[in-house]
Amino acid sequence: MTVLDVLKNPSLAAEIKKQQKHVILLWLAGGASQLETWDPKPGRPTGGPFLPISTNVPGIQISELLPKMAGRMQDTAIIRSLSTGIGDHGGGASLMETGRRKEPGLQHPDLGAIIARELGRADSQVPDYVSFYASTEGRRKGTSGYLGARFAPMFLSDSMIPLNIRRLESLSEIDHRERADLRALLARRFTRGRHSRNNVLGSHTSAYQRVRGIMASEELFSIDSEPAAVRAKYGPTQFAEQCLVARRMVEAGVPFVKVARAWWDSHGQNFETHQELCADLDHSMSVLLDDLEQRGLLENTLVITLAEFGRTPKINGSLGRDHFANAWSTSLTGCGIKGGTVYGKTDADGQNVAEGKIGAGELFATIFKALGIDYEKEYFVGSRPIPISDFGVHPIDAVLT
Distance of CA 214 to the CA centre of its chain: 20
Cα 242 from Cα 221, distance rounded (Å): 9
Out of 275, 293, 314, 351, name the contact with another protein by CB under 8 A.
Answer: 275
Q: Is residue 280 at the binding interface for another protein, with CB under 8 A as the rule? A: yes
Asked whether the beta carbons of 287 and 233 are under 8 A apart, the reply is yes
Nearer Cβ to another protein (235/387) = 235
Question: Does residue 1 touch another protein according to CB under 8 A?
Answer: no
Report whether 343 contacts 356 (CB < 8 A). Answer: yes
Structural element, H or E, at residue 311: strand 310-311
Choice from 181, 276, 374, 397 touching another protein (CB under 8 A): 276
Which amino acid does the sequence have at 90? G
- Binding flag, residue 318, another protein (CB under 8 A): yes
Buried b (16+ CB within 10 A) or exposed e, 184-197: eeeeeeebeeeeee
Beta bridge mates, 61: 54
Helices and strands counted in the chain (H then E)? 11, 16
266 lies in the site for another protein, by CB under 8 A:
yes
32 scored as a contact of another protein (CB under 8 A): no
Closest distance to another protein from the beta carbon of 32 (Å): 12
Binds another protein by CB under 8 A, chosen from 201, 279, 381, 398 = 279
> Is residue 51 a contact residue for another protein (CB under 8 A)?
yes
Nearer to another protein, 126 or 262 (CB): 262
Based on the shown chain and the rule CB under 8 A, indicate whether residue 43 belongs to the binding site for another protein: yes
Please name the helix (run of DSSP H) or strand (run of DSSP E) that holds residue 249, with its range, or none: helix 238-252
Q: Using CB under 8 A as the criterion, what x/- string covers residues 224-263 for binding another protein? A: -----------xxxx----------------------xxx
135 binds another protein (CB under 8 A): yes
Q: Does 349 bind another protein (CB under 8 A)?
A: no
Candidate residues 253, 320, 350, 395; the one interacting with another protein per rule CB under 8 A: 320
**In the bound complex, what is the minimum distance in angstroms from residue 108's beta carbon to another protein?**
28
Of 135 and 206, which CB lies nearer to another protein in the complex structure? 135
Binds another protein (CB under 8 A): choice among 62, 79, 95, 277 = 277
Query: Is residue 54 at the binding interface for another protein, with CB under 8 A as the rule?
Result: no
Give 98's contacts (C-beta < 8 A, 6+ positions apart). 108, 109, 110, 111, 143, 145, 360
Number of residues interacting with another protein: please give it, by CB under 8 A.
36
Positions in 136-165 near another protein (CB under 8 A) = 136-137
Helix axis angle for 111-119 and 360-370, nearest 10°, is 20
Helical axes 200-216 vs 173-191, angle rounded to 10°: 160
Query: Considering the rule CB under 8 A, would residue 30 count as an interface residue with another protein?
Result: yes
How near is the Cβ of 392 to another protein at its closest, in Å?
36
DSSP code at position 92? H
- φ, ψ of residue 63 to 5 degrees: the values are -70, 145
Give the residue, chosen from 134, 154, 304, 388, that forms a contact with another protein under the rule CB under 8 A: 134
Q: Are the CB atoms for 11 and 21 separated by under 8 Å?
A: no
Q: Does 221 bind another protein (CB under 8 A)?
A: no
The CA R_g of the chain, rounded to the nearest whole Å, is 22
Least distance between another protein and beta carbon 164 (Å): 22
Q: Decide if residue 104 touches another protein (CB under 8 A).
A: no
317 touching another protein, by CB under 8 A: yes
Interacting residues of 221 by C-beta distance below 8 A, sequence separation 6+: 156, 160, 161, 162, 245, 248
Task: Give whichever of 22 and 274 is closer to another protein, judged by the CB atom.
Answer: 274
Contact predicate 359/341, CB 8 Å: no
88, 178, 272, 355: which one binds another protein (CB under 8 A) = 272
Closest residue by Cα to residue 223 from 200, 243, 196: 243
In 3D, which of 17, 8, 7, 16 has the Cα closest to residue 296?
A: 17
Interface with another protein (CB under 8 A), residue from 81, 273, 301, 329: 273
Does residue 9 interact with another protein by CB under 8 A?
A: no
Name the site residues for another protein (rule: CB under 8 A): 30, 43, 45, 48-51, 134-137, 235-238, 261-263, 265-269, 272-273, 275-277, 279-280, 315-320
